[in-house]
Homo-oligomer: A and B are copies of this chain.
Amino acid sequence: MVIVEVSFIPIGVGTSLSRYVAEAWKLIEESGLRHEFHSMGTNIEGDLDEVFDLIRRCHERFFEMGAPRISTSVKISDRRDKPATMQEKVNSVRMILNPAQ
């Protein structure tokens, strides 16, 4: 189980990238993998191979949609000493800030 953040920049398709991001969001939702969309990318939780495969599909989809060039950034957070989901990562910070809760 890893947490992967991905963001895509299609290049040479003008200034607005929303149409591309929307397509990626569709593929990510269809994947069934747990995810968080945010304003600078998407965080996805899953098996590393599954997540790579999903990113690969989004990346290829952009070329099919007409982008001539793409810059795709991926950050993998992988820890094996204890379970680490997106929720647990955020919770462990919140518990330090608000220990009473």
Identify the A interface with B (CB < 8 A).
3, 5, 7, 9, 11-12, 14-19, 21-22, 25-26, 36-41, 43, 48, 52, 56, 59, 63, 68-81, 86-87, 89-90, 92-93, 95-97
Contact = CB atoms under 8 A, between A and B. Distances in A.
This chain: copies in complex: 4
Chain A binding surface, main DSSP class: mixed
A19 B92 CA distance: 9
A15 B79 contact: yes
B90 A38 contact: yes
Nearest to A38: B38
Contacts of A56: 48, 52
B36 A71 contact: no
Contacts of A86: 38-39
Contacts of A75: 7, 40, 71-74
Contacts of A97: 22, 25-26
Contact of A15 (B9, B41, B48, B69): B69
